Structure 1
Amino acid sequence: MITRRTLLGGLAAGAAAASGLTLAGRALGSTATTGRAAASLPLHIVNSSGQYANSSIWIYIVGNDGTQQVHVTPDGRLRPVALADNGSDGFTDYAIPLAAGATTTLQLPQMSGRIYTALGSKLKFKAVADGNGKAALAYPAGWVAGDPNYDVLHDCAEFTYNASGMYCNTTMVDMFSVPLALHLSGAKDQTTGTLRDGARAKVFTDVKGAEGFDRLVIGDKRVIAPGHGLDSGLFAKDYLAPAIDEAWSAYASKDLTVTTNAGKFTGRVNGGKLAFTGPGTVAFDKPSTRDVLFCDGTLAAPNDGTLGPVAAILGAALNRSTLTTHTAQPTTDPAAFYQQRLTNHYAKAMHAATKDGKAYGFAFDDVAGFASYIEDGAPKELTLTLTPF
């Protein structure tokens, strides 16, 4: 199964190298040329926001075709990003306007990337040269006060569409602003990301009311993820330290078991490291709060089938505050999640907001199947809906 973390690597590599941004999810997989999926897929954009007319909404489809950074034109053509695309204001204009009617239909070529929605104003994507001198895009960073898109109401969904099928998700890993839902039809009909009635306002209220999380709420525009808040000085760098210390102390005297597709790993803390034996030998230094929130650093998860899956499960357990309380991981009962005082209250609010209980509140939210992610090996069409605010 392709997950968001394997789905998004190529996008992050190009955009982050170009812009200095850390793109959540570590994006986009292979764009193979054999399989069942057609060369392009109908993409429907439906505006049910109730707040903005179609004339005030723009779509951007940007990403990577496996060899270079690209964008999609309004007529469904795939075009490479070029430095010459920057206009007199220093930014590209890759905006796709919505049709006057209720539904806008585009053709989505095979690629990996993001579908951005901008409400009220256009986004400013800047074409820049990456570390290899290739053209790439600096993506919007709504969590950075000095970003040119900071005042624009925007959000995105992520996808990889290749010959093997469509793999897509809504995401709150970086921030939450615009309620979005995805409907994928093909071998079966699937929908994810749909918020409960009134849930957008409740997310803002719940995060603002959680101790230590209040400064992550940026007016009525967005709620930024605590990892980005930490980097911006809006969230405590040691917020999770007592919970992490508690877990490391607990497993100095008892076993922790972690079960992955490779088998069962058994771990103990020794010399400050949480070391596992089993199908392989892996060990982890004690993570920082930032490592947990970004699922990176000591919890980075390579696609190796051994270290990576164990890291992902540990990261999920620490975000969900189940590591100390459950000696067998992954924990699969959502009733056990986010029950401690020190927990990822941002992710908790996101999951409470969605109708199916699934969200991408942090990068390892796919552990045990709680992410707002869907896939289909024989896709027929994809619909992105801006749902009511």
Structure 2
Amino acid sequence: MTPRHQRPLGRRKLLVALGGAVVAAPAVAALAPHALAETDSDSDTGTAAPKAAGALPLTIVNSTGSFGNADVHVYIVGNQDGRQVRVTPDGTVAPVALSDNGADGFTDYAISLAGSGETTLSLPYLSGRIYVSLGEKLKFKVVADGNGDAALQYPAGWVSSDPNYGVLHDCAEFTYNASGMFCNTTMVDMFSVPLAIRLTGAKDQTTGTVRPGGRAAVFEAVRQVEEFAPLVVDDRRVIAPGHGLDAGLFPKDYLAPYIDEVWSTYTGKDLTVTTNAGAFTGRVRGDRLTFDGPAQVSFAKPSTRDVLFCDGALAAPNDGTTGPVAAVVGAGFNRSTLLSSAAQPTTDPASFYGTALTNHYSKAVHAVTEDGKAYGFAFDDVADFASYVQDTAPTGIRLTLTAF
């Protein structure tokens, strides 16, 4: 099977699809890439993929052990045919509307769980997120975007002024269409509620499961690193370092010594990056890391923020060349493997996060999942280490809130 990081990167972000230019641009900008993967054909054979059929059973399982079903609220929001929509409790799609805002200025799109046991819902074709909140409901607000169209403000749990900052919540991401179900858990923005996905169909796949005690282990591991400790918000969540940087909680030059050393190292020797387009050989020329190969691509020296968000100097356009190389280089920076190996991507997780200057947040979330997979940063799909599964003939999806 072709590694996912070698496939087209064209829909790594859901910002435009969800109309994220409204409030929570940060919330939607960092959605994990595979929620909108190209899926019209089988990437290995080039043949048409089986077609999914209609509404998909979605089962929500509350195994928190800390909250009863009455205290768990579910929200299914996203985009369908260019419109921002939400799913009603009966499984129908409703466009978001300004009139949905209540007297308090917020919508109530919550779907309640059954009184006990599992809750089965119906999931229509949609690209978006399944949010869960515990103890309190989330405050979604419909506003008018720049074109005057109704758009939804998403929770931004890393922003202290956000109305949902005090609410315990998290989400999973998906695209479900005629080509199948493509879904993942995500820690790209933050980690709060342990979630696991089981996708059945042509195969039976599970990902994202946090081992017993894993949630507490993440909080503790992040607290142990001085620069990362401010990212822990009580017992509610751990904020991803990029958002922490923007909030003044994380040093903006944290990775600068490592970035400088990479630039210095590859001034005198080659860095090879292999993607689906072929092998690219790069050196620092002037102030840019320039690769020759199937095409010439180059990158300015990134900032710490560029690395953490996999953006800016490491932005990945949908061009089949610069994008895939940016993804591999971005992953190498986050996993701190660029100095230990001049051939990228590296595929041995034992070699990841081995330096003092590394993405300790991503290291912590990977360490607690049963399959070692997580979305700790936007290019965590490089070498297939993201908590992502897909099925072109799905029969059901289960989202489990696992034990705290």
Settle same-fold status: TM greater than 0.5: yes
* Separation of aligned partners in 2, 1:175 and 1:20: 14
Q: Against the structure 1 CA distance between its residues 170 and 12, is the aligned structure 2 distance closer, same or farther, given a 3 Å change threshold?
A: farther
CA contact (8 A) 2:8 2:318 kept: no
2:163 aligned with 1:148? yes
* Deviation of 1:318 (Å): 0.1
2:307 aligned with 1:288? no
CA contact (8 A) 1:31 1:66 kept: no
Q: Against the structure 1 CA distance between its residues 351 and 10, is the aligned structure 2 distance closer, same or farther, given a 3 Å change threshold?
A: closer
Partner of 1:69: 84
SS in 2 for 1:367: coil
CA contact (8 A) 2:218 2:364 kept: yes
Partner of 1:168: 183
Q: Against the structure 1 CA distance between its residues 143 and 319, is the aligned structure 2 distance closer, same or farther, given a 3 Å change threshold?
A: same
2:353 aligned with 1:329? no
Partner of 1:95: 110
* Separation of aligned partners in 1, 2:221 and 2:298: 36
* Separation of aligned partners in 1, 2:12 and 2:109: 21
Partner of 2:276: 261
2:242 aligned with 1:227? yes
Instruction: Return 5+ residue gaps in structure 1 as ranges.
Output: none
* Separation of aligned partners in 1, 2:11 and 2:91: 22
Q: Against the structure 1 CA distance between its residues 382 and 289, is the aligned structure 2 distance closer, same or farther, given a 3 Å change threshold?
A: same
* Separation of aligned partners in 1, 2:161 and 2:387: 30
* Separation of aligned partners in 2, 1:364 and 1:86: 36
After the TM superposition, which residues 43-82 of structure 1 pair with which residues of structure 2 at under 5 Å, given as runs? Answer: 43-82=58-97
* Deviation of 1:279 (Å): 0.4
* Separation of aligned partners in 2, 1:187 and 1:20: 36
* Separation of aligned partners in 1, 2:9 and 2:321: 15
SS in 2 for 1:275: strand
2:261 aligned with 1:246? yes
After the TM superposition, which residues 299-310 of structure 1 pair with which residues of structure 2 at under 5 Å, given as runs? Answer: 299-310=314-325
2:323 aligned with 1:319? no
* Separation of aligned partners in 1, 2:231 and 2:117: 33
Q: Letter of the 1:254 partner, please give it.
A: K
* Separation of aligned partners in 2, 1:29 and 1:87: 35
* Separation of aligned partners in 2, 1:12 and 1:357: 30
After TM superposition, the score normalised by the length of structure 1 is 0.97
CA contact (8 A) 1:15 1:138 kept: no
* Separation of aligned partners in 2, 1:106 and 1:61: 10
2:386 aligned with 1:371? yes
* Separation of aligned partners in 2, 1:313 and 1:29: 17
Q: Against the structure 1 CA distance between its residues 48 and 20, is the aligned structure 2 distance closer, same or farther, given a 3 Å change threshold?
A: closer
2:27 aligned with 1:19? no
SS in 1 for 2:268: coil
* Deviation of 1:101 (Å): 2.1
2:36 aligned with 1:28? yes
CA contact (8 A) 2:241 2:250 kept: yes
Aligned length: 388
Partner of 2:46: none
2:228 aligned with 1:213? yes
Partner of 2:44: none
Q: Letter of the 1:19 partner, please give it.
A: V
* Separation of aligned partners in 2, 1:98 and 1:16: 28
* Deviation of 1:134 (Å): 1.2
* Deviation of 1:39 (Å): 1.8
Partner of 2:144: 129
**CA RMSD of the aligned region, Å?**
1.7
* Separation of aligned partners in 1, 2:354 and 2:12: 30
Q: Against the structure 1 CA distance between its residues 221 and 12, is the aligned structure 2 distance closer, same or farther, given a 3 Å change threshold?
A: farther
Q: Stretches of 4+ moved more than 4 A in 1?
A: 1-8, 10-13, 29-32
SS in 1 for 2:219: helix
Match of 1:189 among 197, 204, 208: 204
* Deviation of 1:268 (Å): 0.4
CA contact (8 A) 2:36 2:182 kept: no
| CA deviations over 1:43-72 (Å, ceiling 9, x no partner) | 000000000000001000000013100000
* Separation of aligned partners in 2, 1:227 and 1:195: 23
* Deviation of 1:19 (Å): 1.1
CA contact (8 A) 2:87 2:94 kept: yes
2:371 aligned with 1:352? no
* Deviation of 1:16 (Å): 2.2
* Deviation of 1:327 (Å): 0.1
